[in-house]
Amino acid sequence: MLYFRWRGMTKGAEQFCYGIVDHDDVYGRKYKEVQSVFGEIKDYGNLLDTPIDSEVAVLYDYDSIWSWRSQVQSKDFDFNTELLRLYRPFYQKNVHVDVIPSDRDFSKYKVIVLPVMIILEEELADRLKQFAQDGGTILFSFRAGLKDKANNLRLGHVLPGPVRELVGARVEEIESLPSGNGVSLGGLGEFYDIPATISVWRDLLVPEQAEALYQYTDRFFSDYAAITKNNYGKGTVYYIGGGVTKEPLDKIAEDVLEHHQIDTIDSPDSVEVYRRNYDGKNYLFMMNHSEEEKVFKGIVLAPYESKIVEE
């Protein structure tokens, strides 16, 4: 845990970055709160030092973020929103998720999530293919593989570029969807009764080896897929063709977690719960992120309260 900052600055550009102790030099509420945190957790030092073994990872790529910022493709696009769109379904199941650079080795994970990875090099594509070949699951969202490391488009490459074979579908057309122009989707198979709409952007997908999970329903584009699923080697690859609402992503995450037998914990909204193990015993870290009282497994959590409980 890092507190920024200890004491408020009196000079320079960070004069209004207040601290645990402010410019008045009074050891007030904030100081006492920080003091109480360390007083409460000092008995859990060994537990806090136990490793956190995540089986899901989100690849975070600065080059892709900069590329999106330099060329706005949809006025309603926000990178953090799109990252959280794919992160949220796993977070809500209280699954440990690492957020790692795209050049890091990810072979130890079971699930890899690549939100709007507009810059995607052949080297990363090859590692992703090997990951899926070995049984891993990959989730892409829209505009994947559009550019190379120099932020240039690839002449003669059909999207999604170097991961087309992995995705098992091609992007035939594209469309920016400004606010108020969301499009409804029609689910197929086990997704038939799960409602969905898409906004911000849409890739119009033509499945090649992949299976369509959702199709567009508007008159001119009803032949195109919006979300696809492809079997690649021993693994599975999903492609989310735009800013999809939560219901289909919840279903996909549930299927993926069940397939890989990844431990989940159901908890009330705004209550975060994670399991840690020390000395042969399981402990639950519970955090109420709301201003309302919450109850989890009979344990009452006051607004914004955190507890560590032996399971």
User: Distance between CA atoms of 286 and 283, rounded to whole angstroms?
Assistant: 10
Name the band, by pLDDT with cuts 50, 70 and 90, for residue 115: very high
Contact 204, 175 (CB under 8 A): yes
Together in a domain, 271 and 287: yes
Together in a domain, 33 and 181: no
Q: Is 56 helix (H, G, I), strand (E, B) or coil?
A: strand
CA angle 108–109–114, rounded 5-degree value = 130
If residue 184 lies in a helix (H) or strand (E), which one and from where to where?
strand 183-187
Together in a domain, 243 and 283: no
Together in a domain, 160 and 198: yes
CATH number at residue 203: 3.40.50.880
| H helical segments located in the chain | 29-41, 45-48, 62-70, 79-91, 122-133, 164-167, 246-259
Together in a domain, 32 and 160: no
Together in a domain, 234 and 289: no
Report the pLDDT value the prediction gives residue 180, as an integer from 0 to 100.
82
| Complete DSSP assignment for 234-282 | TEEEEEE-EEE-HHHHHHHHHHHHHHTT-------TTEEEEEEEETTEE
CA angle 110–114–115, rounded 5-degree value = 140
User: Distance between CA atoms of 195 and 247, rounded to whole angstroms?
Assistant: 7
Together in a domain, 299 and 233: no
Q: Which of 28, 49, 70 marks a domain boundary?
A: 49
Does the structure show a pLDDT above 80 at 1? no
Residue 255 structure tokens: 């299927």
User: Distance between CA atoms of 147 and 159, rounded to whole angstroms?
Assistant: 10
Distance from chain centroid for Cα 162: 22
Query: What confidence tens digit (pLDDT) does each residue in 53-112 have?
Result: 999 999 999 999 999 999 989 989 999 999 999 999 999 999 999 999 999 999 999 999
Residue type, 234: K
Together in a domain, 28 and 154: no
Q: Of all residues in the chain, what percent carry a pLDDT higher than 70? A: 100
Together in a domain, 111 and 236: yes
Together in a domain, 11 and 81: no
Query: What confidence tens digit (pLDDT) does each residue in 12-50 have?
Result: 999 998 999 999 999 999 999 999 999 988 999 999 999
CATH number at residue 292: 2.60.40.1180
Show Cβ contacts of residue 110 under 8 Å, excluding neighbours closer than 6 positions.
55, 56, 135, 136, 137, 260, 262
Does the structure show a pLDDT above 90 at 216? yes
Q: For residue 294, give its domain range.
A: 266-311
Together in a domain, 25 and 146: no
Together in a domain, 225 and 243: yes
Report the pLDDT value the prediction gives residue 182, as an integer from 0 to 100.
87
* Number of domains, the chain: 3
Query: What confidence tens digit (pLDDT) does each residue in 178-190 have?
Result: 888 889 999 999 9
Residue 130 structure tokens: 């090997």
Q: Which of 217, 243, 259 marks a domain boundary?
A: 259
